[in-house]
Structure 1
Amino acid sequence: MTTMEVTPVEDVERACGTLLAAFHDSSANDFLNCKFQDVPLEETLASHSRADELTRNTIMFYVDRGAEFVQTGDYATVAIWTVPHKHVAVDRTKDERFNAVFLDESQRVKERVIPQGMQYYYLFMVGRDPVSAVKGSVRALFDHYIERANRENVALVLEAISDHARDVYEHFGFVNYNTFKYGAGEVDSNGHLDSNGDGHTGYLMIYLPK
């Protein structure tokens, strides 16, 4: 187990900078921000600054509502977690097809997989500064929350929005319980507008306490 400390964010701007850098070229993240903020997809394709603005809006939506905003490795890795008994309520979007896939089906899977009565932490976002030279910060973050999950007898839940992220989470003991498509008929797998596109692939992953 690593001894790198995980602490609450004190410098919000610096933490936002880490997450913005980590998701700067993530078309899947841009798509989700557009959906949850009811913004036309064309807006993020036209401007990186607009995409960054939407990401910042989403970060602060969670932080302002009491989610844990934490960092490790001198802001090398930053994460946002909602906590047991205090999850952040997210409104349904205007796209009911998206709601059915990303919200409703995910809720059914959580109810099926997580033992009745067990609470969970939800990892809304985690990002590593792509230019940081600090090693082990991602592991430190997950070791910290896995230890808490085991000690408190609660689960950890997240959605991976890339194959690489899925593989990383599997390495830390998360299991993929639902592979799903979102954005089909709107974008291709690279996030470009395409009425015949396959959309993005997501993975609902859960860690159950040991």
Structure 2
Amino acid sequence: MEGSAIAVTNISVTSLVNGEHDSSRLRKQPVPPITTSQSDEYCHRLADISSRATVTDPLNIVFQQEKTGPSKPVTADMIYIGSKRRIETKVAAGALIVEACNFAAIACWEPPSSNPPPLTEAQYQEIAAERPVFAQFVRDIQNAQDACLGVPAPRHWKLSLMARDPERKDKGAVRAVIEPFVARAKKERVPLWLVAGNPRARDVYAYFGFRVVQVIWSFPKDGPWKESSVPTWCMVCNWPLE
């Protein structure tokens, strides 16, 4: 899942972003400093925080149980393994990991230079052989991106993963790992793309100017998972270009 690792309960979007409810006052305050790295330590911290933050997300549970079976409880340690592997692949292609407030919030941003080519049909089939639900999800996301940005897609920034440590409440940390990159993409005149895996994440990203362009259902209503269909939100920012 891309750009969706936010787990919060019963708090407003502005309190999640700023750390308290008076957003108009806090938006006047400086954004907390950030650091960026492609190190193994940063890969580990992102995988650890995101797995703890999203261990109860329905989509993560579905994808994990597709590998381990529906009877096995999903743990953060299980999610960590796959997350770490995906993050390392993205970093190897040029992605940046950015953190704020000593890892209170952390994100993986893929710059335009690291945009990977779409998967081939053979690659989709290879994934589908063992994980058909995940393979369809990946295909649907690519189709949504194609429909929005066009084929071939223009150079764009992608927010692959973002998480706030569920045990931390540092003010402005989420804002710090998102807002500067939105501003940078607008300055570079390129769009930004992400996929939100839960309603709270969707609303946080909307706060920073992303809009939903398509909702993907991982399990079609006429399929075997009719009662368990899980939505994800494909979102774009700065498109059409401002």
Does the Cα contact within 8 Å between 1:184 and 1:197 map onto a contact in 2?
A: no
Aligned with residue 227 of structure 2, among 173, 180, 197: 197
Given the two structures, how large is their TM-score scaled by the length of structure 2?
0.69
Choose which of 66, 75, 89 in structure 1 pairs with 2:103: 75
- In the TM superposition, residue 174 of structure 1 has moved relative to its aligned partner by 0.5
Could you give the per-residue CA deviations for residues 155-187 of structure 1, whole angstroms, max 9, x where no partner exists? 1100111111111111111110001200357x9
Which residue of 2 is the match for residue 183 of structure 1? 219
Query: Residue 165 in 1 paired to residue 226 in 2?
Result: no
**Do the aligned partners of residues 125 and 32 (structure 1) sit closer, same or farther apart at CA in structure 2, a change above 3 Å counting?**
farther
- Relative contact order (C-alpha < 8 Å, sep 6+): which is higher? 2
Q: Greater CA deviation, 23-32 or 128-137?
A: 23-32
C-alpha distance in structure 1 between counterparts of 2:186 and 2:99, whole Å? 21
With over 3 angstroms needed to count, the CA separation of the structure-2 counterparts of 1:108 and 1:46, relative to structure 1, is closer
Quick check: 1:64 aligned with 2:92?
yes
Q: Secondary structure at the match of 2:217?
A: strand
Listed as ranges, the gaps of 5+ residues in structure 2 are 1-26
Structure 1 residue runs of 5 or longer lacking an equivalent are: 188-193
Aligned mates of 1:47, 1:147 — CA distance in 2: 36
Structure having the larger proportion of residues in helix: 2
The answer to whether the 8 A contact 2:104-2:168 is kept is yes
Which residue in 2 is equivalent to 1:191? Answer: none
Shift in Å, 1:65:
3.3
Runs of 4+ in 1 over 6 A off after TM superposition: none
Contact 1:159–1:202, Cα closer than 8 Å, also in 2: yes
Match of 1:17 among 20, 23, 48: 48
In structure 2, the residue corresponding to 1:179 is in which secondary structure? Answer: strand
Contact 1:98 1:183 in 2 (8 A): no
Report whether the alignment pairs 1:114 with 2:149: yes
Count of residue pairs the alignment pairs up: 200
Deviation at 1:134, TM superposition (A): 0.9
CA distance in 1, matches of 2:52, 2:202: 20
- The structure with the greater share of residues assigned to strand is 1
Per the alignment, do residues 46 and 107 of structure 1 end up closer, same or farther by CA in structure 2, a change over 3 Å counting?
Answer: closer
Distance in 2 between residues matched to 1:43 and 1:66, nearest whole Å: 37
2:104 and 2:173 in contact (8 A); partners too:
yes
SS of the counterpart of 1:169? helix
Distance in 2 between the 1:46 and 1:142 partners?
29
Q: Distance in 2 between matches of 1:69 and 1:141?
A: 9
Deviations 1:21-44 (A, max 9, x none): 222322312434666xxx344386
Give the secondary-structure state (helix, strand or coil) at the position aligned to 1:111: helix
Pair 1:154 & 2:182 matched: no
Contact 1:20 1:56 in 2 (8 A): no
Cα RMSD of the aligned pairs, angstroms, is 3.1
Q: TM-score, normalised by structure 1?
A: 0.78
